[in-house]
Homo-oligomer: A and B are copies of this chain.
Amino acid sequence: MVVPRSTLTFTVLVRVGGGRARTAVLKTAHGQVQTPAFMPVGTQGSVKALGPDDLRAVGAEMVLANTYHLLLRPGPETVQKLGGLNKFMGWDGAILTDSGGYQVFSLAELRRLDEEGVTFRSHIDGSEIFLSPEKAVAAQEALNPDIMMAFDECTPYPAGRDETLASAELTYRWAKRCLAARSKENGPALFGIIQGGMYADLRRTAAAQIAELDFAGLAVGGLAVGEEPARRREMIDVVSEIVPRDRPLYLMGLGTPEDLVEGIARGADLFDCVLPTRNARNGQLFTRAGRLVIKNQRYREDDRPVEEGCPCYTCRRFSRGYLRHLFMSKEILSYRLNTIHNLTYYLSLMRRAREAVLHGRFRDFYDEFYNARVGREDDADDQQQ
Residues of A within 8 A of B (CB): 44-46, 48-53, 73-74, 78, 81-83, 87-90, 300-301, 303, 313, 317-319, 321-322, 324-326, 328-329, 331-333, 335-337
Known: A45-B325, A49-B333, A51-B313. 16 other contacts (CB 8 A): A46-B329, A46-B331, A52-B317, A73-B328, A73-B329, A74-B324, A74-B328, A78-B301, A81-B303, A82-B322, A88-B319, A88-B321, A90-B318, A332-B332, A332-B335, A336-B336
Q: Which of A83, A89, A322, A326 has the most CB of B within 10 A?
A: A322
> With A and B bound together, what is the CA distance between A88 and B324 in angstroms?
11
Determine whether the beta carbon of A82 is less than 8 Å from that of B336.
no
- Of chain B, the residue at the smallest CB distance from A326 is B46
Closest beta carbon of chain B to A40's beta carbon, Å:
13
> With A51-B333, A332-B49 given, is the CB distance from A44 to B78 under 8 Å?
no
> With A and B bound together, what is the CA distance between A329 and B49 in angstroms?
12
Contact of A46 among B89, B313, B324, B333 (CB under 8 A): B333
> With A45-B325, A50-B333, A51-B333 given, is the CB distance from A317 to B83 under 8 Å?
no
Please, could you name 28 A-B residue pairs with CB atoms under 8 Å apart, sorted by A? A44-B329, A44-B331, A45-B322, A45-B329, A46-B326, A46-B333, A48-B331, A48-B333, A49-B332, A51-B333, A51-B336, A51-B337, A73-B325, A74-B321, A74-B325, A78-B321, A81-B301, A82-B319, A82-B321, A83-B303, A88-B319, A88-B322, A88-B325, A90-B317, A90-B318, A90-B322, A332-B335, A336-B336
- Of chain B, the residue at the smallest CB distance from A75 is B300
Determine whether the beta carbon of A89 is less than 8 Å from that of B335.
no
Determine whether the beta carbon of B333 is less than 8 Å from that of A78.
no
> With A and B bound together, what is the CA distance between A83 and B317 in angstroms?
13
Determine whether the beta carbon of B82 is less than 8 Å from that of A303.
yes
> With A and B bound together, what is the CA distance between A212 and B51 in angstroms?
50
